[in-house]
Amino acid sequence: MQIIGHVSSPYKEKFSIPRQPNLVQHAKGYIEFLPDFSDIDMLCGIEAYSHLWLVFIFHQTAEQGWKAKVRPQRLGGNKKMGVLATRSTFRPNPIGLSCVAFDKVEKLKNGKVRLHIEGLDLVDGTPIVDIKPYVPYADVISQATSAFAAEAPVSKMNVEFAEALTDKLVICEQKYSNFKQFVIQVLAQDPRPVYKQGKADNKMYGVKLVYWNLQFKIEGDKCMVYSIEDI
């Protein structure tokens, strides 16, 4: 297989990435195709689809190997399941599949081609090996069942910003539209390890999103953002 492009993502590190696509609708990014694949004809007709399948490589975990059984975070990291019965990033072949929303196709003056997407759950720099259209009649199976992770996680975390960040948020919104809502959607899911969720925690956490490093604390059922610094 050949890598055809790389993802430019607002998630600059694994921490805080939602565990499935489209949980954070305001996550916007693009795929920039490598020179051998910067042919806009490859994307002719893609605007006919609202969503796309991305086939990608788990490049940050590939070298760490895999095991027959893993501990899914969705189960609190305590119960083991067969790796092929989960969506663990540690797999015999480090291949991932993600469904994202199509935004637009862009051709730059330097000849580079970009495919803009939304709702992504991929870390910045993720290698893409293929893109396929999402076809509802074939891809939506209404009678499908799942005893494990049957429903999307529901977060009850309220996200608030320190009053001193009011002006900074205005600046951030100018560089990344809907930045505040993006942060709210990300942090409302409580990106901490599952075993810490629902527990008292005085630790100050940091997360890199888009162009900024955010510092926040979990205070009861509230996530308080205390600082937003340029990376």
Average pLDDT over residues 150-162: 80
* Of 122 and 63, the one with more pLDDT: 122
Q: How far is CA 79 from CA 69, 71, 102, 184, in A?
A: 10, 6, 36, 30
Average pLDDT over residues 204-229: 95
**For the whole model, what pTM was predicted?**
0.91
Contacts 24+ apart (CB under 8 A), 159-163: 159/183, 159/184, 159/187, 159/188, 159/222, 159/223, 159/225, 160/222, 160/223, 160/224, 160/225, 161/224, 161/225, 162/224, 162/225, 162/226, 162/227
- Per residue in 186-208, pLDDT (tens digit) is 999 888 887 787 776 889 999 99
Q: How confident is the model at residue 164 (pLDDT cuts 50, 70, 90)?
A: very high
Who contacts 99 (Cβ-Cβ below 8 Å, separation ≥6)?
Answer: 21, 22, 51, 52, 53, 54, 134, 139
CATH number listed for the domain at residues 5-59+94-139: 2.40.30.70
Average pLDDT over residues 147-153: 70
- CATH architecture label of 158-230: 2-Layer Sandwich (3.30)
User: Can you give the pLDDT at residue 157?
Assistant: 85
Average pLDDT over residues 143-152: 77
Spatial distance between the Cα atoms of 99 and 134, rounded to a whole number of angstroms: 8
Domain ranges of the chain: 5-59+94-139, 158-230
Spatial distance between the Cα atoms of 218 and 208, rounded to a whole number of angstroms: 17
* Of 75 and 107, the one with more pLDDT: 107
* Of 61 and 33, the one with more pLDDT: 33
- Per residue in 81-121, pLDDT (tens digit) is 999 998 889 999 999 999 999 999 999 999 999 999 999 99
